Amino acid sequence: MRQPTEIESLYLDFDGFFANAEKTLTPELRDRPVGVLPLASKHTSLIARCYEAKRFGIERGTRALEARQLCPDIALPIARHDEYVKLHHRILKVVDRFVPVKKVWSIDEVECALIGRERKNVEALAHHIKTALRAEFGEFLTCSIGFAPNQFLAKVAAEMNKPDGLEILHPADLPGPLLRLSLTDLPGISSNMEQRLVKANICSIETLWNLTPKHARAIWHSVEGERMWAQLRGFAVSQHETTRRMFGHGRILSSDWRTPEKGRDCLRLLTAKAARRLRRENYTASALSISLSTQDGRCWRRETRFFPARDDHTFLQEMGRLYDSGIKLLGQPRLKKLSVILHGIQQAGQTSDDLFEQTETRTSRKRWETLTDAMDMLNARNGNCVVSLGIRKEPPGGYAGAKIAFGRVPELNDFAMTPNAARTLQKVLEKHEY
Ligand SMILES: [Mg+2]
């Protein structure tokens, strides 16, 4: 393992990104505290807040009603994920002018690797990036920048002086500035992990720093402990390239979408969107699971397996079967939350045909694949979703399947909506003899 003697990593983390994005996009919001809601309901919780709102004790996760009580003047716009994604892509372009973006960690966090002269004058580099961002977006879309010998510490540094911060952790100064942080300030230390550390008498960064790698491994019960130890000490630890394990979407239903019929519509939509993402990244799935939570607090989850597939028809059919059995078992419930996940992910083309599959089934599957590909092509060409199997009624809140989750920035064409489609679909069907 290599121990850098220079600053090698830059981490850039935007402050209250969705809230400040709203201020950037909507001038009327600029002198008001802003919290962003995932959907139009006073029972939902904020997914972001600006720093003025923070002064009123409002945090991410504060309920809309409570935020309103704490600060009657707060503006609570509904999230516009497509706009945030556009901003994200513009931000990447600005950062790239100074130093190439190595990895996008989430919609508002990126990492750059520094080489040669870039490592020497990092204050100036931060200044240039911040000035260019301000010139492009104005004063509201601020970011905090961290520099350190590795990505892990650069991320920690970016969190140290929010908002609009700059923190530089020189390898020679370690652990100095880290000692004022608490254990849960480190990425990867959740409150559960903290409890485990406290049980092992590790109550501060200092004691964690002073562990031996072997001891760290024993506490974590895995090599992750050693990794944590090494990253904290500034070693260059190679990032695991995460290979795709699943594609999924979930949704909390607003009160008028909680019937079994509407739940089914919503789940169909989420399934189709997950399937589109799967195909775009050239994968197949051989399992699908759904989970349903009811308003009275019950949960139900089932998984089904099938021959590796990538067409909407297969996924929607499998989803439908599971869904019907779940609804029956739960006794026509009022639903609250539902989600669908495609598992058993493999690169398309890695699976050979199943020898035991009936020729008839195989032919039918191939036809559905052809149809699905044709639909994807049409949708891509038209810039939005003009063709789909079955309904495409968007549940309230919109953006089904294009929500911004940690670690996944939706692509612009995830934001498909549906104007008129029947005619086009008819043509495709005719062409493919359906
Ligand atoms: Mg942020």
CATH of the domain at 294: 3.30.1490.100
CA of 409 to the centre of ligand 1 (A): 13
Question: What is the CATH number for 137?
Answer: 3.30.70.270
Q: Identify the domain boundary among 76, 98, 115.
A: 76
Most confident of the following: 43-57, 215-229, 243-257: 43-57
The three-class DSSP label of residue 396 is coil
Is 159 found in the same domain as 15? yes
Confidence at residue 3, expressed as pLDDT on a 0 to 100 scale: 93
Per-residue tokens: 79: 């999230």
Condensed to tens digits (0 to 9), the pLDDT of residues 60-70 reads 989 999 999 99
CA of 14 to the centre of ligand 1 (A): 4
Condensed to tens digits (0 to 9), the pLDDT of residues 87-107 reads 999 999 999 999 999 888 888
Range of the domain at 44: 27-76
Give the residue with greater pLDDT, 430 vs 339.
Answer: 339
Is 309 found in the same domain as 397? yes
CA of 408 to the centre of ligand 1 (A): 14
CA of 130 to the centre of ligand 1 (A): 15
- Look at strands 143-148 and 9-14 and give their pairing: antiparallel
Is 421 found in the same domain as 282? yes
Cβ distance 194 to 183 under 8 Å? yes
Question: What is the CATH number for 63?
Answer: 3.40.1170.60
Is 374 found in the same domain as 289? yes
Please name the helix (run of DSSP H) or strand (run of DSSP E) that holds residue 265, with its range, or none.
helix 260-280
Question: What is the CATH number for 230?
Answer: 1.10.150.20
Condensed to tens digits (0 to 9), the pLDDT of residues 376-385 reads 777 766 655 5
Q: Identify the domain boundary among 76, 108, 136.
A: 76
CA of 12 to the centre of ligand 1 (A): 9
Q: Tell me 46's DSSP state.
A: -
Rounded mean pLDDT of 5-23?
A: 96
CA of 48 to the centre of ligand 1 (A): 9
Is 342 found in the same domain as 302? yes
Condensed to tens digits (0 to 9), the pLDDT of residues 119-176 reads 999 999 999 999 999 999 999 999 999 999 999 999 999 999 999 999 999 999 999 9
Q: Identify the domain boundary among 141, 173, 205.
A: 173
Q: Tell me 162's DSSP state.
A: -
CA of 417 to the centre of ligand 1 (A): 28
Is 376 found in the same domain as 325? yes
CA of 357 to the centre of ligand 1 (A): 49
Confidence at residue 418, expressed as pLDDT on a 0 to 100 scale: 44
Rounded mean pLDDT of 42-61?
A: 92
Cβ distance 229 to 216 under 8 Å? yes
Per-residue tokens: 176: 């100095």
CA of 15 to the centre of ligand 1 (A): 5
Is 348 found in the same domain as 234? no
CA of 109 to the centre of ligand 1 (A): 6
CA of 163 to the centre of ligand 1 (A): 9
CA of 296 to the centre of ligand 1 (A): 34
- Work out the mean pLDDT of the chain and round it to a whole number: 85
Residue 300 has pLDDT above 50, yes or no: yes
Per-residue tokens: 373: 């590909």
Rounded mean pLDDT of 3-11?
A: 96
Q: Looking at the 3D structure of the chain, how many domains does it have?
A: 4
Rg, the chain, Cα only = 24
Rounded mean pLDDT of 215-234?
A: 90
Condensed to tens digits (0 to 9), the pLDDT of residues 239-271 reads 554 455 789 999 999 988 999 999 999 999 999
CA of 432 to the centre of ligand 1 (A): 47
Rounded to two decimals, what is the model's pTM? 0.64
Provide the pLDDT confidence category of residue 433 given band limits of 50, 70 and 90.
very low
CA of 212 to the centre of ligand 1 (A): 32
CA of 35 to the centre of ligand 1 (A): 14
CA of 10 to the centre of ligand 1 (A): 15
Residue 434 has pLDDT above 50, yes or no: no
Condensed to tens digits (0 to 9), the pLDDT of residues 305-320 reads 988 888 998 999 999 9
Confidence at residue 417, expressed as pLDDT on a 0 to 100 scale: 38
Cβ distance 400 to 392 under 8 Å? no
Condensed to tens digits (0 to 9), the pLDDT of residues 106-118 reads 889 999 999 988 9
CA of 376 to the centre of ligand 1 (A): 33
Give the C-alpha separation, 157 to 166, whole Å: 8
Give the C-alpha separation, 303 to 274, whole Å: 16
CA of 164 to the centre of ligand 1 (A): 11
CA of 31 to the centre of ligand 1 (A): 20
Is 187 found in the same domain as 300? no
Work out the percent of the chain whose per-residue pLDDT is above 70: 82
CA of 242 to the centre of ligand 1 (A): 22
Please name the helix (run of DSSP H) or strand (run of DSSP E) that holds residue 144, with its range, or none.
strand 143-148
Is 410 found in the same domain as 271? yes
Q: What is the 3-state secondary structure (H, E, C) of 312-349?
A: HHHHHHHHHHHHHHHHHHHCCCCEEEEEEEEECCEECC
Is 261 found in the same domain as 185? no
Is 193 found in the same domain as 278? no
Provide the pLDDT confidence category of residue 278 given band limits of 50, 70 and 90.
confident
CA of 406 to the centre of ligand 1 (A): 11
Confidence at residue 301, expressed as pLDDT on a 0 to 100 scale: 94
Give the residue with greater pLDDT, 362 vs 47.
Answer: 47
Confidence at residue 355, expressed as pLDDT on a 0 to 100 scale: 44
Is 87 found in the same domain as 59? no
Give the C-alpha separation, 76 to 66, whole Å: 12
Per-residue tokens: 399: 């953006």
Confidence at residue 222, expressed as pLDDT on a 0 to 100 scale: 76
